[in-house]
């Protein structure tokens, strides 16, 4: 029995199915190819929207050169008052934190026993003086010997010395202000027995004050006695005190190679207090012209600092627009919101002052300075 032949209808159906599938695939490939081609064409002609930035102009200004340092406020004269002799406190003549004058009585110790002794010693001294006068009169008449006269004179001198000793002890029972100043919190109370050397209160002269700071030895050629200094303290951020450089230490510290200096600063209102931390600017004697831009314009990087200079040109779509061009610069002193550009920019050139991190060469930008903060050389922080 011979095998039956394959049905031709089934073979035709397979062939038609395969052809149909290939046709569908070809159509899909064609559609996808057209889409990709359209996307490539759109990408070639696509112009990204311009980035919004704030702008600033490189300006030539006159700056007075400064040397900055940090230091400490010191009193011109400051002592901790103490008792030279022990004693019982009978009277206190000052209030905590008050201003006192030179010679003002601050503390009075009990001195009744010394006063009583002084009366007796003064009487003995008067008797010794009278005795000496009589012996001198008799000696002039030849009625006494020289030895008797010498003894009378010695007793008179000894009595006067005893009077002087007691008077000195009485003076030491009274503590007086050695100079004008502001006294601190008292450390004694009425009726307290104070031992010799015991503290009573601190006293500081606060007008003027000294501000002590350090500068590197390289700055010695740029500073001189009499230069003006400007002092700022964090306690009063809106205020500035000006004084004069009055002392330059004649030696360089071996450990740091710094030179210790002091400035004298008027302090009529007494707000500068000893121990305060201070920022000091030593002002140069003359001004110089420098080129400055806002510090936010600089793109800081390890390989070099740069800015984006804005110039008019044609963007990718052929339209006139502001185009950024990255340019490397060298920077100098920074003061407040501004920084000095020593090379890389010219006066009048426009730079992007914010948003520089998102810029690239030739990508169009649009300037929007409506919300730009005002740059200042001495910005003052504002509490929220």
pLDDT for 112-125, tens place per residue? 776 777 777 777 77
Give the list of residues 6+ apart from residue 185 with CB closer than 8 angstroms, or none.
96, 97, 201
Going by the DSSP 8-state scheme, the letter that residue 180 receives in this structure is S
Which CATH class for the 87-109+174-197 domain? mainly beta
Model confidence over 50-78: pLDDT tens digits?
Answer: 777 788 888 888 777 777 888 898 888 88
Element housing 69 (H / E)? strand 59-82
The DSSP line for 206-263 is EEEEEEEEEEEGGGGGG--TT-EEEEE-TTSTT--EEEEEEEEEEEE-TTT-EEEEEE
Cα distances (angstroms) measured from residue 48 to each of 57, 318, 354: 26, 13, 19
**Mean pLDDT lowest among 89-93, 265-269, 304-308:** 89-93
Residue 1: which pLDDT band, with cuts at 50, 70 and 90?
very low
**pLDDT higher than threshold 60 for residue 250:** yes
The dotted CATH code for 67-74+207-287 is 2.40.30.170
**What does the pLDDT read at residue 33?**
78
Kindly state the DSSP code that residue 3 receives in the 8-state scheme.
P
Q: Which CATH architecture has domain 51-61+289-367?
A: Beta Barrel (2.40)
Residue 358's pLDDT is: 78
Residues 6+ apart with CB under 8 A from 337: 294, 295, 296, 375, 376, 377, 379
Please write the tens of the pLDDT for every residue from 182-207: 888 887 888 878 788 788 888 888 88
Structure letter (DSSP) for residue 299: B
Confidence at residue 44, expressed as pLDDT on a 0 to 100 scale:
55
Does residue 155 sit in helix, strand or coil? helix
Enumerate the domain spans of the chain. 51-61+289-367, 67-74+207-287, 87-109+174-197, 111-172
């Amino acid at each position: 029995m011979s095998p039956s032949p394959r049905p031709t209808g089934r073979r035709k159906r397979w062939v038609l199915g395969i052809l149909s599938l290939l046709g569908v695939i070809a159509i899909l490939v064609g559609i996808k190819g057209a889409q990709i081609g359209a996307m490539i064409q759109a990408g070639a002609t696509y112009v990204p929207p311009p980035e919004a930035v704030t702008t600033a102009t490189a300006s030539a200004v006159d700056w007075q050169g400064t040397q900055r340092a940090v230091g400490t406020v010191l009193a011109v004269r400051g002592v901790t008052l103490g008792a030279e002799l022990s004693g019982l406190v009978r009277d206190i003549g000052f209030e905590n934190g008050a201003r006192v004058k030179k010679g003002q009585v601050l503390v009075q110790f009990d001195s009744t026993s010394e006063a009583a002794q002084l009366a007796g010693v003064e009487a003995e001294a008067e008797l010794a003086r009278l005795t000496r006068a009589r012996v001198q009169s008799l000696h002039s008449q030849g009625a006494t010997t020289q030895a008797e006269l010498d003894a009378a004179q010695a007793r008179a001198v000894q009595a006067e010395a005893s009077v002087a000793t007691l008077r000195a002890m009485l003076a030491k029972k009274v503590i007086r202000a050695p100079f004008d100043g502001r006294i601190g919190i008292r450390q004694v109370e009425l009726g307290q027995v104070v031992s010799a050397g015991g503290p009573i209160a601190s006293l500081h002269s606060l007008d003027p004050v000294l501000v002590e700071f350090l500068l590197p030895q390289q700055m010695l050629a740029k500073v001189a006695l009499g230069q003006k200094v400007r002092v700022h303290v964090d306690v009063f951020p809106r205020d500035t005190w000006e004084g004069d450089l009055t002392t330059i230490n004649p030696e360089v510290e071996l450990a740091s190679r710094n030179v210790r200096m002091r400035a004298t600063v008027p302090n009529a209102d007494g707000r500068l207090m000893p121990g305060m931390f201070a920022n000091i600017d030593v002002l140069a004697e003359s001004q110089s012209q420098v080129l400055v831009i806002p510090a936010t314009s600089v793109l800081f990087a390890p390989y070099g600092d740069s800015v984006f200079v804005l110039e008019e040109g044609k963007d990718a779509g052929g339209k006139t627009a502001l185009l950024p061009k990255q340019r490397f610069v060298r920077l100098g002193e920074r003061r407040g919101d501004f920084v000095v550009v020593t090379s890389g920019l010219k006066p009048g050139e426009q730079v992007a002052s914010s948003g520089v991190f998102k810029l690239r060469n030739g990508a169009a930008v649009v300037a929007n300075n409506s919300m730009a903060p005002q740059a200042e050389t001495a910005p003052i922080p504002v509490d929220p």
